[in-house]
Structure 1
């Protein structure tokens, strides 16, 4: 566990060379705005003047939450199983976007509340069949929390060993916006009411119930230390996303963070290992309540604003072409000096 939290700082020695390379391209310095900032960040992460995003991989972690038994979600936990099967069949929104953007999708059972051992194509990493009800007791044990973080790091390491040069994070889990709200409440920190949103959809009555359940959960424990907050309130898929982020950062591979739940995992990872923040790219500003404050807590500026709040990694997938464009800027655009020389 200690090794997992040892994330290398970016090598600032590349900063000057990358800035010089960008300013030397056939364009006015800074004319491509945040695309240039993205190219600089990618070069710093990968430690090269020509960073690559030729083999992006989306890791979709799935898990269930005991909180759903107390009514925090508009859908039953069985929907998690159905959506995992939909992802494996290639028919989810994430699959459609992945085909358009040329991204490989890997689906991981982090803690689905069903026996999925017969599913082919599924990465089997189940810690337990769902967490406990965090409004009544800790969501998981400290051993399970550490196991989930380590498992996520292994999944990312396996993808990198297979050639992945960009890791995108996605999730599937009924009730996970409730767990993410509790994590944000303690780790940002932020008032609980500012962290709670509609998730997959709620009536006014459902939102009132969700807020009451989460208030009961928050009152049950005063945990503030990151690993203890995860133990008390987290989800196995959120823990594995955080572990995957840490594992990718240790391999000097950039991580594309999706929306509200993905950002909660990023917040957890950054609180555990502050250097991990430098390896994060934030895909989009979710329409889920609380995401703006979450991004502020992470000092993050998202690449896209599309009013999305689906999850699955859909926002992360749509941001991948921007990463590839930033890489192409450094690798393929002519040098300004050559253009001027040709012009006489």
Structure 2
């Protein structure tokens, strides 16, 4: 487990006083002021930087799809990974607008992927097992995925990225996330299940029945065991990336429901990791409400998104950069009144 240093809250009053002294009415920038304080505490500086950003899209397949939890076949995971690597997915378009680097991480795609400049090969195995029938992953596979995710985050920090954004791609992963949130929040399974990539009413009922079957197999609540029972490799590796980023004192922009489930797992493994998470948006997936409540999190945006890929994190990135600029680029009221500009 990476060593995560809790934020030094003793610096918070000084940072708030610094923001209060800017050329603006007290509290006039609302949540942006709160975000500025968080960025400063994470970075350990009154001039935090969020200029260099990388979106890591973790990809993996899920054995749960064998039981019909998704409206699409597993082959779509590989097709969408290819789309991301070709630069033609929604996340690519948003990353270009936001000025973020995009990389795809093969955590557990059920196929061999050819090398690509934007691809990080970190596969633990070709897809998880069917969690409706037995554990999705072994304990060793969970530990390997956590370690690989943490290493990827550390490498991004060494490379000079100021902030990490998380995204995912994996057919069936909203089903896996629902099971994780059911146990880790905890919350009733029916409140954690949503349409995913596009279920109709009959498909949603089938998905819920399969997940009820999976949940009935085990009463696991320990976070590592819950990951082994229900998680996909991209979710576990995202949890590891959050732990690694926190250990490297880098903020993490958490996307929607699936990324939120990974963040909740990371927080259950290491509570101090919560200080390093910035929650990008409120997903349209019903289970995200349970994630946000369990993490005591307030997302920056509420746009009805449920795409995944890190799209919501990319849309929230300019707000994070604006919060950093509030501390570094805005004059003090004293300087304005004294004409020292």
Q: TM-score, normalised by structure 2?
A: 0.98
SS in 1 for 2:107: strand
Structure 1 CA distance, aligned partners of 2:319 and 2:13?
23
Partner of 1:324: 321
Deviation, 1:186, is 0.3
Structure 1 CA distance, aligned partners of 2:99 and 2:117?
22
Does the alignment pair 1:301 with 2:291? no
- Within the candidate set 220, 227, 247, 1:230 is matched to 227
Does the alignment pair 1:339 with 2:336? yes
Contact 2:165–2:253 (CA under 8 A) maintained in structure 1: yes
- Within the candidate set 175, 179, 186, 1:178 is matched to 175
Deviation, 1:53, is 0.3
Measured against aligned partners, the alpha-carbon deviations of 1:101-146 in whole angstroms (never above 9, x if no partner) come to 0000010000000111444531100000000000001001000000
Structure 2 CA distance, aligned partners of 1:86 and 1:14?
45
Matches within 5 A, 1:110-125: 110-125=107-122
Partner of 1:10: 7
Contact 2:54–2:100 (CA under 8 A) maintained in structure 1: yes
Does the alignment pair 1:21 with 2:28? no
SS in 1 for 2:9: coil
Contact 2:154–2:245 (CA under 8 A) maintained in structure 1: yes
Structure 1 CA distance, aligned partners of 2:108 and 2:339?
60
Structure 1 CA distance, aligned partners of 2:120 and 2:164?
16
SS in 2 for 1:231: helix
Does the alignment pair 1:99 with 2:96? yes
Measured against aligned partners, the alpha-carbon deviations of 1:28-68 in whole angstroms (never above 9, x if no partner) come to 11111000000001000100000000101100000000000
CA RMSD of aligned residues (A): 1.0
Structure 2 CA distance, aligned partners of 1:118 and 1:298?
37
Contact 2:181–2:290 (CA under 8 A) maintained in structure 1: no
Aligned residue-pair number: 340
Contact 2:53–2:164 (CA under 8 A) maintained in structure 1: yes
Structure 2 CA distance, aligned partners of 1:26 and 1:177?
45
SS in 2 for 1:256: strand
Structure 2 CA distance, aligned partners of 1:333 and 1:204?
51
Does the alignment pair 1:282 with 2:279? yes
Contact 1:14–1:48 (CA under 8 A) maintained in structure 2: no
Partner of 2:236: 239
Structure 1 CA distance, aligned partners of 2:216 and 2:67?
15
- Within the candidate set 122, 139, 150, 1:142 is matched to 139
Structure 1 CA distance, aligned partners of 2:64 and 2:209?
12
Matches within 5 A, 1:82-97: 82-97=79-94
Measured against aligned partners, the alpha-carbon deviations of 1:159-197 in whole angstroms (never above 9, x if no partner) come to 111111100000000000000000000000000000000
Contact 1:117–1:124 (CA under 8 A) maintained in structure 2: no
Structure 2 CA distance, aligned partners of 1:84 and 1:119?
11
Structure 1 CA distance, aligned partners of 2:208 and 2:159?
43
The range that moved more, 312-321 or 9-18, is: 9-18
Does the alignment pair 1:313 with 2:313? no
Contact 2:102–2:118 (CA under 8 A) maintained in structure 1: no
Partner of 1:46: 43
Gaps of 5+ in 2: none
SS in 1 for 2:166: strand
Does the alignment pair 1:157 with 2:154? yes
Structure 2 CA distance, aligned partners of 1:311 and 1:121?
18
SS in 2 for 1:13: helix
Contact 2:53–2:101 (CA under 8 A) maintained in structure 1: yes
Gaps of 5+ in 1: none
Structure 2 CA distance, aligned partners of 1:203 and 1:31?
44
Structure 2 CA distance, aligned partners of 1:263 and 1:329?
27
